[in-house]
Amino acid sequence: MARAAKSPQGRRGRVRRILYGTAVAAIWTAISSILALLWLAHDLPDPGSLPAPGREPTVVVKAVTGRTLASYGPIYGDWLAYEEVPEPFILALLAIEDRRFFSHGAFDPRGVLRALWNNVRAGRLQEGGSTLTQQLAKNLFLTPRRSLRRKAQELMLALWLEREFTKQQILTLYLNRVYFGAGAYGLDAAARTFFGHSARKLTLGEAAMLAGIVKAPSRLAPTRDLGAARARAETVLAAMVDAGFLTARAAARARAHPAQLAPDAAGPDIRYFTDWVRERARKLVRDPGRAMVILTSLDPTIEAAAEAVLQEHLAREGTDRDAGQGALVALAPDGAVLAMLGGRRYGESQFNRATQARRQPGSAFKPFVYLAGFEAGLRPDSVLEDAPITIDGWSPTNFSGDYRGPVALHEAFAQSINTVAVRVAQRAGLDAVAAMARRFGIESPIPAVPSIALGSAELSLLELTGAYAGIANGGYRVRPYAIIEIQSPDGEILYRYHPQPRPRVIAETTLMSLVSMMTEVIREGTGRAAAIDRPAAGKTGTSQDFRDAVFVGFTSDIVAGVWVGNDDNHPMRHVTGGGLPARIWADFMIDAHIGRPPRPLLQIDSSPPS
């Protein structure tokens, strides 16, 4: 039987239902789109008012005299017009970040697909698909937080930028505001910070390095990792060749002449101290991210003496002796830091060997061994045997290689006789030796093993020098400090140092016996090279195979420690604590005491210092 044909009225009803459903869907789609746009846009910044580049707070570090030592925060250079930017930089930036910048809009689908394909082939996320306009929108208006909502907002702002500005204007905004690391915002600030000249004079190698930095400025800044920055520059040069912006021969020439940093690109040597202070200050205030003015105990005159003397001696003797690095710390007897130098040149290495390195002090640890021995009943005139000794399979020897037989402790200390120090530690007890060092403020782990007597525990130069300050001040433990006061830029006090009563950790008579022996070290012992124009006491230290050489000593006014060695721990050529470090210490102390009259050591009274 034939099916009945549908009436025209039924067909019209069906069409009306389809149209009605479509209209409802369109209305709800429009409403949803409007709500989504409102949700995305309700907290968008006003694109009509561009925020200032660089949102980090400024931190200013000052010396005890009020002189500014360093400022941390945004650095700006000249605003460059598009026509002033060297073409090699523009080509380098386009090659590595956005080759189709002048031909696409705010969003580049081809770029996204290319990045996705490259990431899949690499098996990891190695490049993004954002256009330069999107990057500018993110840098100008948004936080670094990653989310789909933030990405959508980034695209909305990029569309606005593309509508309001020409491509040249967008690129001009980008290169004048993008962050290059080391506090530098904008191309000219980066060129001046890293290379010491205007961006108008960029070479191809320098342009490639700066273009490569913008991907990860905190990690790739050449002042942080020059090797990584140069490797990235080579990647940029290869991209320029691939894009047709540069010939292979020109790229090879640029690779053969990589960008060179300005001598003070990383900052002056005072940054060893100010970097350390800034990190400590963040732990002393409630809001570590705010702007601060930090007043410190550092004495600029003493710091200048430290820099001049250390660099002079390392330049004169370091090469012949294969001593590549050094560090120096100077404290007041109460622990206030007067000078700190964490290496020979901050521009070459920002690693602070005074605070971050843990090295063996060698015989410079012996004062704590002998103090423990004195508390166990020994005296400076006690006689012990300088003879071969073996403990648990360990057989220490003397530096001289010979033995003297019976010897008084004061002579053994002055001549740094190892076998006697080991016998003193055995008499006192290894736990007592470790406890004595901790009483004087040493916080690094000190294993109670026989070799502790010869300074096998690894310490920082700062804590070792701080422990000597406890000897210099009459036996009161100190904790080295440098921050006197922290203020906000408008003068609000955020922190103020309040001296606390310091505990006496050793009896006066016991300490005086040690100090007398320490003066003998300089007068007629291993530290004769440290003799200066006033009463002084100290101790030499040399680790195994000449890997570390130390001299730490004090006058009535200043306690100072000097370390010399190599970062990779390879041996020096017969450098001992009584040689190069002692000479550095002596020259530094002579200069640091200018204007200070000589005074006797340890003018002890019965009232504990505050």
The domain spans of the chain are 85-256, 301-479+501-592
The whole-chain average pLDDT of the chain stands at 88
**Which runs of consecutive H residues, i.e. helices, occur in 296-360?**
300-313, 319-321
pLDDT tens-digit series, residues 355-410: 999 999 999 999 999 999 999 999 999 999 999 999 999 999 999 889 999 999 99
pLDDT tens-digit series, residues 98-115: 888 888 876 666 655 655
Q: Write down the CATH superfamily of domain 301-479+501-592.
A: DD-peptidase/beta-lactamase superfamily (3.40.710.10)
Say yes or no to pLDDT of 51 above 80: no
Confidence of residue 157 (pLDDT cuts 50, 70, 90): confident
Say yes or no to pLDDT of 24 above 80: no
Interval 585-600 mean pLDDT: 96
Considering the four listed CATH numbers 1.10.3810.10, 1.10.3470.10, 2.60.40.10, 3.40.50.2300, the one that applies to the domain covering 85-256 is 1.10.3810.10
Nearest residue to 76 via CA among 103, 41, 52, 43: 52
**Helices vs. strands in the chain: H and E counts, helices first:** 21, 14
Confidence of residue 36 (pLDDT cuts 50, 70, 90): very low
Ranges 18-27, 529-538, 598-607, most confident: 529-538
Lowest mean pLDDT among 14-28, 63-77, 127-141, 184-198: 14-28
DSSP label at residue 450: G
Interval 267-292 mean pLDDT: 93
* Confidence at residue 609, expressed as pLDDT on a 0 to 100 scale: 43
Q: Which residues pair with 565 in a beta bridge?
A: 325, 548
One-letter amino acid at 386 equals D
Identify the residue whose tokens are 């191809």.
Answer: 204
pLDDT tens-digit series, residues 209-230: 999 999 899 899 998 899 999 9
* Confidence at residue 163, expressed as pLDDT on a 0 to 100 scale: 81
Domains 85-256 and 301-479+501-592 share a fold: no
Task: Name the residue with higher pLDDT: 110 or 167.
Answer: 167
Residues in CB range of 371: below 8 A, 6 or more apart: 436, 506, 510, 511, 514
Confidence of residue 158 (pLDDT cuts 50, 70, 90): confident
Lowest mean pLDDT among 116-120, 299-303, 539-543: 116-120
* Confidence at residue 481, expressed as pLDDT on a 0 to 100 scale: 97
Question: Residue 132, SS3?
Answer: helix
Question: Residue 482: what are its φ and ψ, rounded to 5°?
Answer: -135, -20
